[in-house]
């Protein structure tokens, strides 16, 4: 068998997420059907992260195995041809050793969350940002974000259906920056709990609105209680930016 690694970009708007489901279109299904279209082989792709419904990716990583050996450049071109008209693009393809695992070999994952902070709704960025029409204090949000860096029990920011064995994670990066009308939040860790980033962003919005002080954000984390989490931020502002190996 020959193993290949893909770097994939996609607009998550029309999909139920990465993972294949029986009754709804998924990114995984679109990719596997494209692989079959050029190779006539049925494969199961494995991804670095199972993005949720509506979540986008700039640098999702996936791997799959084929019996026949192919030139990686031809794989990229063939997949991009057969993926049309789905909003999915294979940015890179390469042959890798059979020990490579898109999920388990990853050393870090980086997400970006985009908030459009202005009165007017987005015309060009619909389904690609979270539109928040009330003024947000990005500096206060950043101050609060720095208070939860490091290794903690993130139960407060963990979805009730999360299947991770432990709520303990190490958050290496959590930055909030304003660029004109847009607030960009960057989060980096080896791995995240289900809905962790969106939960943290939803709570940071309360800080930005002045409803919470930064220390209350940290207190919510220390409570280890999901009921202390702010409202879940919507999926359309979230992007899986890159995965490091």
In a domain, 103, yes or no: no
Average pLDDT over residues 196-225: 98
- Shared-domain flag, residues 60 and 162: no
- Shared-domain flag, residues 84 and 200: no
In a domain, 224, yes or no: yes
pLDDT tens per residue, range 62-101: 999 999 999 999 999 999 999 999 999 999 999 999 999 9
Structure tokens at 127: 């389904």
Element (H, E) at 112: strand 108-116
CATH number, domain containing residue 36: 3.30.70.580
Structure tokens at 215: 């220390």
Q: For the chain, how many structural domains are there in total?
A: 2
- Shared-domain flag, residues 52 and 142: no
- Shared-domain flag, residues 92 and 114: no
Domain end point (choices 96, 124, 155): 96
In a domain, 101, yes or no: no
Average pLDDT over residues 193-198: 97
Structure tokens at 182: 């847009």
Task: Please state, in angstroms and as integers, the Cα–Cα distance from residue 21 to each residue in 18, 28, 29, 48, 52, following that order.
Answer: 9, 9, 8, 18, 12
> Does residue 175 carry a catalytic annotation?
no
- Shared-domain flag, residues 73 and 139: no
pLDDT tens per residue, range 26-60: 999 999 999 999 999 999 999 999 999 999 999 99
Structure tokens at 45: 């792709």
Q: Checking phi first, is residue 17 left (phi over 0); if not, alpha (psi -120 to 50) or beta?
A: left
Could you say which of 52, 71, 172, 222 is catalytic?
A: 52
- Shared-domain flag, residues 68 and 121: no
- Shared-domain flag, residues 140 and 84: no
**Structural domain span for residue 133:** 108-244
- Name residues whose C-beta falls within 8 Å of residue 84's C-beta, 6 or more positions apart in sequence: none
Domain end point (choices 96, 119, 152): 96
* Range list of β-strands (E), 146-215: 150-153, 168-179, 182-189
- Shared-domain flag, residues 82 and 132: no
- Shared-domain flag, residues 119 and 71: no
Please report, rounded to a whole number, the percentage of residues in the chain having pLDDT higher than 70. 100
Domain end point (choices 62, 96, 130): 96
Q: What is the predicted pLDDT for the residue at 86?
A: 98
pLDDT tens per residue, range 92-133: 999 999 999 999 999 999 999 999 999 999 999 999 999 999
User: Per residue in 213-241, is it b (16+ CB within 10 Å) or e — as a string?
Assistant: ebeebbebbeeeeeebbbeebbbbbbbbb
- Shared-domain flag, residues 8 and 78: yes
């Amino acid at each position: 068998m020959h193993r290949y690694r893909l770097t994939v970009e996609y607009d998550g708007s029309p999909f139920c997420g990465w993972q294949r489901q029986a009754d709804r279109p998924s990114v995984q299904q679109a990719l596997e059907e494209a692989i079959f279209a050029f190779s006539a082989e049925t494969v199961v792709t494995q991804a670095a992260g199972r993005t949720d419904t509506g979540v986008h990716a700039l640098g999702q990583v996936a791997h799959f195995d084929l019996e026949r050996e192919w030139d990686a450049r031809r794989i990229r071109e063939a997949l991009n041809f057969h993926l049309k008209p789905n909003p999915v693009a294979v940015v890179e393809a390469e042959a890798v050793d059979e020990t490579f695992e898109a999920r388990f070999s990853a050393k870090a994952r980086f997400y970006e969350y985009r908030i459009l902070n202005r009165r007017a709704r987005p015309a060009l960025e619909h389904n690609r940002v979270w539109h928040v029409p009330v003024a947000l204090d990005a500096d206060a949000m950043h101050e609060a974000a720095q208070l939860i860096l490091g290794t903690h029990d993130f139960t407060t920011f963990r979805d009730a259906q999360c299947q991770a064995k432990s709520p303990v994670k190490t958050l290496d990066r959590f930055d909030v920056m304003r660029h004109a009308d847009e607030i960009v939040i960057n989060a980096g860790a080896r791995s995240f709990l289900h809905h962790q980033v969106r939960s943290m962003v939803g709570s940071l919005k309360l800080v930005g609105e002045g409803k919470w002080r930064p220390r209350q954000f940290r207190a919510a984390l220390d409570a280890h209680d999901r009921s202390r989490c702010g409202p879940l931020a919507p999926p359309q502002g979230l992007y899986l930016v890159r995965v490091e190996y």
